Chain A
Amino acid sequence: MQFIHSEEQQLIRATARGFLAAYDPARVRAAMRAPGGFDADLWQQLSGELGWCGLAVPEAYGGAGLGWVELCLLQEEQGRRLVASPFFGTVALAAPLIQAAGTEAQRAGWLKRIASGGVRIACALSGEQGHPPPQGAAVTLDTHTGRFVLNGVSDFVIHAEGADAFLVLARGPQAGALSLVVLPASTRGITLEPHVMLDLTRPMARLSFQDAPVAAEQVLGAPGAAAAAAERGLNLALIALAAEALGGAERVLEMTTEYVKQRVQFGRPVGSFQAVKHRLADMMVQVEAAKSAAWYAACVADEASEELAEAAAIAKSYCCDAFFDCAANAIQLHGGIGFTWEHEAHLYFKRARASATLLGSPAWQRERLMRVLGADAAAAPVY
Chain B
Amino acid sequence: MKLGFTPAEERFRDEAASWLRGQLAGPFRDLRGETSMSGRLERRMQWERALGAARFSCIGWPQEFGGRGATLAEQVIFAEEYARAGAPGRIGHMGVELAGPTILTFGTAAQKARFLPPIARGEEFWCQGYSEPNAGSDLANVRTRAVLTDAPGGREWVLNGQKIWTSLAQFADWAFVVCRTEEGSQGHRGLSYLLVPMRQSGVTVRPIRQMTGEAEFNETFFADARTAADNVVGAAGDGWRIAMGTLAFERGVSTLGQQMSFRNELGAIMQAARANGLLADPLIRQRLAHAHIGLKLMRYSALRMLASAEAGRLSNEAYTYKIFWATWRKKLGELALDVLGPRGEIASAPPYEWALLPSVFLASRADTIYGGTNQIQRNIIAERALGLPREPRGS
Q: Which residues does A use to contact B, with CB under 8 Å?
A: 1-6, 9, 69, 257, 260-261, 268-269, 271-272, 274, 277-278, 280-282, 284-285, 288-289, 291-293, 295-296, 298-300, 303-304, 310, 314, 317-318, 363, 366-367, 369-370, 373, 375, 377-381, 383
Residue of A2, A271, A300 most packed against chain B (CB within 10 A): A2
State whether A318 touches B279 (Cβ < 8 A).
Answer: no
Q: How far, in angstroms, from A317 to B379 measured CA to CA in the complex?
A: 28
Going nearest first, the 3 A-B pairs with the smallest beta carbon separation are A380-B274, A277-B382, A366-B289
Q: How far, in angstroms, from A369 to B285 measured CA to CA in the complex?
A: 10
State whether B297 touches A3 (Cβ < 8 A).
Answer: no
State whether A383 touches B320 (Cβ < 8 A).
Answer: no
State whether B4 touches A281 (Cβ < 8 A).
Answer: no
Residues of B near A260 (CB, < 8 A) are: 388
Q: How far, in angstroms, from A370 to B270 measured CA to CA in the complex?
A: 11
Q: Which residues does B use to contact A, with CB under 8 Å?
A: 1-6, 9, 73, 263, 266-267, 270-271, 273-274, 279-280, 282, 285-286, 288-290, 292-293, 296-297, 300-301, 303-304, 306-308, 311, 313, 316-317, 319-320, 323-324, 375, 377-379, 381-383, 385-392
State whether B379 touches A274 (Cβ < 8 A).
Answer: yes
A-B contacts at CB below 8 angstroms, number: 174
Residue of A268, A277, A292 most packed against chain B (CB within 10 A): A292
Residues of B near A378 (CB, < 8 A) are: 279-280
Contact of B1 among A6, A291, A310 (CB under 8 A): A6
Q: How far, in angstroms, from A107 to B82 measured CA to CA in the complex?
A: 47
State whether B300 touches A4 (Cβ < 8 A).
Answer: no
- Contacts A/B (CB < 8 Å), 21 sampled: A1-B73, A1-B303, A2-B2, A2-B307, A3-B306, A6-B1, A272-B392, A278-B379, A282-B378, A284-B316, A284-B320, A288-B317, A296-B3, A296-B296, A317-B289, A317-B293, A363-B286, A370-B288, A378-B279, A379-B274, A383-B271
State whether B306 touches A366 (Cβ < 8 A).
Answer: no
State whether A304 touches B320 (Cβ < 8 A).
Answer: no
State whether B381 touches A285 (Cβ < 8 A).
Answer: yes
Closest chain-B Cβ to A56's Cβ sits at a distance in Å of 14
State whether B1 touches A272 (Cβ < 8 A).
Answer: no
Closest chain-A Cβ to B28's Cβ sits at a distance in Å of 24
State whether A4 touches B307 (Cβ < 8 A).
Answer: yes
Contact of B289 among A293, A304, A370 (CB under 8 A): A370
Q: How far, in angstroms, from A5 to B315 measured CA to CA in the complex?
A: 12
Contact of A370 among B285, B316, B319 (CB under 8 A): B285
Residues of B near A1 (CB, < 8 A) are: 2-6, 9, 73, 303, 306-307
State whether A284 touches B381 (Cβ < 8 A).
Answer: yes
Closest chain-A Cβ to B37's Cβ sits at a distance in Å of 24
Q: How far, in angstroms, from A298 to B3 measured CA to CA in the complex?
A: 10
Q: How far, in angstroms, from A365 to B389 measured CA to CA in the complex?
A: 39
Q: How far, in angstroms, from A370 to B293 measured CA to CA in the complex?
A: 10
Contact of A285 among B73, B270, B320 (CB under 8 A): B320
Contact of B270 among A271, A314, A381 (CB under 8 A): A381
Contact of A277 among B300, B324, B383 (CB under 8 A): B383
State whether B304 touches A4 (Cβ < 8 A).
Answer: yes
Residues of B near A381 (CB, < 8 A) are: 270
Closest chain-B Cβ to A231's Cβ sits at a distance in Å of 19
State whether A380 touches B292 (Cβ < 8 A).
Answer: no
- Using CB atoms, name the residue of chain A closest to B280: A377
- Using CB atoms, name the residue of chain A closest to B266: A383
Contacts A4-B307, A271-B388, A292-B297 known; A373 to B292 CB distance under 8 Å? yes
Contact of B297 among A274, A314, A363 (CB under 8 A): A314
State whether A3 touches B289 (Cβ < 8 A).
Answer: no
Q: How far, in angstroms, from A214 to B383 measured CA to CA in the complex?
A: 60
Q: How far, in angstroms, from A298 to B324 measured CA to CA in the complex?
A: 22
State whether B389 touches A269 (Cβ < 8 A).
Answer: yes
Closest chain-B Cβ to A377's Cβ sits at a distance in Å of 5
State whether B311 touches A4 (Cβ < 8 A).
Answer: yes
Q: How far, in angstroms, from A230 to B295 measured CA to CA in the complex?
A: 28
- Using CB atoms, name the residue of chain A closest to B317: A288
Residues of A near B1 (CB, < 8 A) are: 2-6, 9, 69, 295, 298-299
Q: How far, in angstroms, from A366 to B263 measured CA to CA in the complex?
A: 18
Contacts A272-B391, A288-B320 known; A366 to B301 CB distance under 8 Å? no
Closest chain-B Cβ to A38's Cβ sits at a distance in Å of 30
